[in-house]
Structure 1
Amino acid sequence: MAPPEPGGGGLHRRPGDPVGQLPPQPWRDAAPTRAVLAALTAGGAEVRFVGGCVRDAVCRRPVRDIDLATPEPPERVLERLAAAGLRGIPTGLAHGTVTAVVGGARFEITTLRRDVETDGRHAKVVFTDDWVADAARRDFTINALSADPAGRIYDPFDGLADLGAGRVRFVGLPARRIEEDALRLLRFFRFHAWFGRGDACDRDAVAACRRFAPSLVPLSGERIAAELLRLLQADDPATTLMVMLANGVLAPILPEIHDIPRLRQLSWLECRGLARPEIRPDPLRRLAALLGPDPAAAAAVAARLRLSAADRDRLAALAAAEPVLLPSLSAVAFRRLLHRHGASRLRDRTLLAWAAWRNGRLRLDPADTAAWIALLDLASQWEPVALPVRGADLLALGLTPGPAVGRLLAELEGWWAERDFRPDRAACLAEAQARL
């Protein structure tokens, strides 16, 4: 389906006319927001909220980032902020971007602009006073929405209709928009995972994504990782990933993926299957579910996506073959694993093991479900414990300094853990004396 012309949602509506009204928004009425609006409109310029904050407010989703647009050039924006006693940061003057900081709140303010040249990632722009031309630069119709301070919504490309239909469409021709920036290919699927419905993606967009999938290879790992991990945070990323896999989009960036069904089970457990407040959708845990118990794949993906050292190590731990967790595992044995690996890692491993367990069974035993939940509860309740004797205690018993001290401590810790960490200091010293 070809995208409509601007304003195609009504015969008597011009592209620049308002089409609706936002309900009251706490973020819009907050003191920092009012201060920024007052500063920017001091000279009579029109200012609007743009992009994600309007889209999410329409969908009644939490608004995290507040972006604004104005026809005034960035230098004038900085002047108006300074005149109002507000801090302005010239984060991208060449592209018309200024960041206002008020208390702990940050607002990205961009001068209206239109593209005159693109090279696949960067665009050469000129400033304009045309709101529709600025909206035409947006990637998708649902991101081309804007709203004035009174809450009037402007929708030149029928993004509201697309939101209502659970449809993600490019503004303009999909192929041309992807040629402008190949990352939009991944953004299309990320936004479909969050705002689309099932696997019914826009046909023209999918065809363009399939055609330009090889253009993902030269992109930096950081840019790919940012889009992929945000996609994996959606309630049901598995359905979108199946579409990507079927259309050859995953192969250039994640050829190691082979277990989307386990991801589907894990997502269900995180979002709907458990009444556990500490368990939330976790993109790195979900990435581990896709890779399966494959340390080599985890290492390759971490390197390609240029993950941080902490994320690389965590992904490697989640992809390790050991420990193997089963619902039949006793509480004592699980606490030994908690002592060895830590509560956070064991909770992740338990969720991954449970997802694999569900995925491999046609019928689910309620007793197994209760057993998995009991293991998760043990992880939540776990408080780290330490062996109540140290190397100095063994030396005081007469042991000669050297490697034997470490060996005996390890033996004692195993003996202590097998008894569910119950022996106290006196009992541990007595056991040490007996072993000496």
Structure 2
Amino acid sequence: MWSRLLSRRVIGRTANCWRSLSTMQLKTSEFRSLFSDGLTELAEVFEKHQHELRIAGGAVRDLLSGKRPEDVDFATTATPEEMKDMFQKAGIRMINNKGEQHGTITARLHNESFEVTTLRVDFQTDGRHAKVKFTTDWQKDSERRDLTINSMFLGLDGMLYDYFKGYEDLQNHKVRFVGSADQRIQEDYLRILRYFRFYGRVALEPDSHEPETLVAIRENGRGLAGISGERIWVELKKMVVNNHGAHLMELVYSLELAQYIGLPPDGNVEEVKRVWQITKDHSPKPMTILAALFRRPEEVEKMDIRLKVSREEKTLALFLVKNRRELCKSKDEPDSLKPFTDFIIDSRELDTQSKVCELLKYQGEEKLLAELSRWSVPRFPISGHDLRRMGITSGKEIGTTLQKLRDIWKKSVYQMEKDELLSYVKL
């Protein structure tokens, strides 16, 4: 994947760690595949005006891991005003420049959007937001990022610029904060959950955290109370379905974070561990795992007030809490899917089959899950119009008769057709 190490040199010392610059050149197909007509033209504009342009952050981490990144962010020495001037002169359209105060300009070339952000340093933070000033110092911008594996830059010639041993940590499956964990967390308390999320993506072992990192998380956990529920939910739902999701939820409780992020203080962690283990190979929805925490529907309501989850996510949690014990396979016919298909047939909600699939994941019913995933909801062949044509005019009687016929149809495993069912109608 890599050419040889080109150079490595110590260039300075911060208050908390030595900074060193590692450079090496990336020559992978994933990297080369990024070079569309749009990126090539963008690079030419920056080169013409003698401003540096590099790939930044998560995209570098993904490329170093042999993955083609879904999103690519760019960093530059050019200020927002300089970028706007460059793009206007080149006839490049700019869109959605809401992030300009933080240094981000979005250029649109060849039906592609490119977010380019000026190098910056945080000069004032409150644990949620930061006021920034622009810089041309790549090291300073790297120093303000959260984790070493997210602090690297990649030149468009494939040259890696790594100031905090991010590539070494990636190779060793280590997740560490840049410099002081305490300081990085206090700049933005959401970084606690980002640390957990990336730990699940990178670490091989469930419990190989640096002790000082966990101490910093515990001591700063109350700062999460000031973070919006929407931001917390974005991180939390990625975390629980990741590798080590059960271990990370256990940490949330042992480090006393649950109370600050909308989770029940006495959440059923053992149930989460059980459900995570049996669902992890079946692509569970995040709420399917989190539902294991809740002992009562009221706890779901409290969680929703704090995290503002979607209506679909909330109803799934309530469905699982209510039905995980009530809706089970038949004791007489343990391999029968019928109790679940009957439930779906009787439901008036369009997404009931999806919810029941999540319930079967929760219950560890792999065979029934596979069967239900292939099953299509049959159409009940009788309507009120059919009964009216037979002379039944009372709305109440029509409703009662339809229900009786539906019960007969279900007992036939949905096989009876219209004429046979109508023969049961007594006029």
TM-based fold match above 0.5: yes
What residue is the counterpart of 1:220 in the other structure?
A: 228
What residue is the counterpart of 2:132 in the other structure?
A: 125
Secondary structure of the equivalent of 1:110?
Answer: strand
Q: After TM superposition, list the pairs within 5 Å mapping 1:237-276 onto structure 2.
A: 237-253=245-261, 254-256=263-265, 258-272=267-281
Which residue, out of 214, 217, 224, partners 1:209? 217
Going from structure 1 to structure 2, the CA distance change for 1:123 and 1:146 (only over 3 Å counts) comes to same
Q: Is the 8 A contact 2:105 2:115 kept in 1?
A: yes
Task: After TM superposition, give the deviation of residue 430 of structure 1 in Å.
Answer: 1.5
What residue is the counterpart of 2:162 in the other structure?
A: 155
Q: Is the 8 A contact 1:285 1:348 kept in 2?
A: yes
Q: Deviations over 1:17-70 (max 9, x none)?
A: 552222322542233332332333331211100000001111223411100000
Paired AA for residue 158 in structure 2: G
Task: After TM superposition, give the deviation of residue 145 of structure 1 in Å.
Answer: 0.6
Task: Tell me the TM-score normalized by structure 2.
Answer: 0.87
Q: Is the 8 A contact 2:225 2:260 kept in 1?
A: yes
Q: Distance in 2 between matches of 1:334 and 1:192?
A: 37
Which residue, out of 77, 81, 86, partners 2:87? 81
Secondary structure of the equivalent of 2:359?
Answer: helix
Task: Tell me the TM-score normalized by structure 1.
Answer: 0.85
Going from structure 1 to structure 2, the CA distance change for 1:82 and 1:232 (only over 3 Å counts) comes to farther
Q: Is the 8 A contact 1:167 1:202 kept in 2?
A: no
What residue is the counterpart of 1:369 in the other structure?
A: none
Give the percent of matched residue pairs that are identical in Structure 1 and Structure 2.
Answer: 30
Q: After TM superposition, list the pairs within 5 Å mapping 1:287-302 onto structure 2.
A: 287-291=290-294, 294-302=296-304
Which residue, out of 72, 77, 86, partners 1:71? 77
Q: Is the 8 A contact 2:128 2:227 kept in 1?
A: no
What residue is the counterpart of 1:235 in the other structure?
A: 243
Secondary structure of the equivalent of 1:343?
Answer: helix
Q: Structure 1 stretches of 5 or more lacking a match?
A: 1-8, 273-278, 355-371
Q: Structure 2 stretches of 5 or more lacking a match?
A: 1-6, 13-18
Task: After TM superposition, give the deviation of residue 12 of structure 1 in Å.
Answer: 5.5
Q: Is the 8 A contact 2:264 2:293 kept in 1?
A: no
What residue is the counterpart of 1:375 in the other structure?
A: 368
More deviation in 144-153 or 320-329?
A: 320-329
Task: After TM superposition, give the deviation of residue 265 of structure 1 in Å.
Answer: 4.3
Secondary structure of the equivalent of 1:65?
Answer: coil
Q: Is the 8 A contact 2:284 2:358 kept in 1?
A: no
Q: Is the 8 A contact 1:18 1:152 kept in 2?
A: no
Paired AA for residue 76 in structure 2: T
Q: After TM superposition, list the pairs within 5 Å mapping 1:387-406 onto structure 2.
A: 387-406=380-399
Query: Alpha carbon RMSD of aligned pairs, Å?
Result: 2.4
- Paired residues, number: 402
Q: Distance in 2 between matches of 1:374 and 1:206?
A: 40
Q: Distance in 1 between matches of 2:33 and 2:274?
A: 35
Paired AA for residue 422 in structure 1: Q
Secondary structure of the equivalent of 1:226?
Answer: helix
Going from structure 1 to structure 2, the CA distance change for 1:261 and 1:113 (only over 3 Å counts) comes to same
Going from structure 1 to structure 2, the CA distance change for 1:21 and 1:339 (only over 3 Å counts) comes to farther
1:348 matched to 2:354: no
